[in-house]
Amino acid sequence: MLTVLRRRLRQEGWTAARLAAELRVGEATVKRWLAGKGLTVDRMERLAGLASMSIGDLAREAEDTPLGLARELTLAQERALSADIFLSFLFMAILAGVQPDEIAADYSLPSRMLETALLKLERLALVDRLRQGKVRPLVDRALVFRKAPLRSLFERHMKQLYFELDYSAPETAYASELVKLSDVGAAQLAELIEKLRGEVQALSDRDRETAVLPRKWYGMLGVMRELDMSSVREAGWQITA
C-alpha cells in the first residue's frame, strides 16, 4: 500500500516539500512517513486523500500491483517494441490502464493477433497475465524513455500525428509559451512537463472510474526545446511604420 501511495502522490505532483507545507510538518517528517516510519492509519488516510484516494483504494490497487516496478526499459525491450508499432501501441495502452478486451473492441482486432502480441509482451517481461483475461504492466507508468529505439519510433510514426494537426481548428486544444530561461529554469520546466504527465495519468484513471459519456482516444504531447528563430526572421522579420 505504501508503494502505491508514494506512486500516486508523485503522479498527482506532491513533493515532500509540498506535502510538508500542506500538512504543516517538517519535510523530514514527511519523508519518514513515506518510508513507513510513524505512519499511522490517520496519517495514511490523510495522505491518500491528497492523492484523491481512500485507504480502500490503496488496498485494492496494492493487491493488483506487483512490487518493484521498473522505471526504465532495457535496451532489448525497447528494440523489441520499436520493431513492431502495434506491439508498442498495445503496451502503451496497457500502461495507461486500458485492458486488452477494450483495445480489441475499439479497433476491431482479431483475437489471434491480440493473443500473439500479449504473449510477446509477456515474454519480454513487460506485462503479467491475470485471471479473466486481465493484464497488468510490470513497468511503472512514470517510466522515462532514455534510449534511442523508442524515441526513433516516435519520430517515425507518432510525430506526424501531432505536427499535422490543424492548430486553427476550434477542437484542437493546445498551449504555447515563449520564455527565456537559465539552465536551471529549463530543468525546472522539464520537471513541470513530467508533473503534467502524471496529472494526465491520474485524470485518465478518475475518468475511467466515473465517466458517463463514451470515452475516446486522445494524444497529449508536452515538449520543450531551445528555439531557432532563423526561419521566422527569414519569413519577414521587419518593422513597418
- Look up the pTM and report it: 0.64
DSSP class per residue in 68-113: S-BSS--HHHHHHHHT-HHHHHHHHHHHTT--HHHHHHHHT--HHH
Q: How confident is the model at residue 80 (pLDDT cuts 50, 70, 90)?
A: very high
Q: What is the pLDDT of residues 134-182, one digit of tens each?
A: 888 888 887 777 678 888 888 888 888 888 888 899 888 888 888 999 9
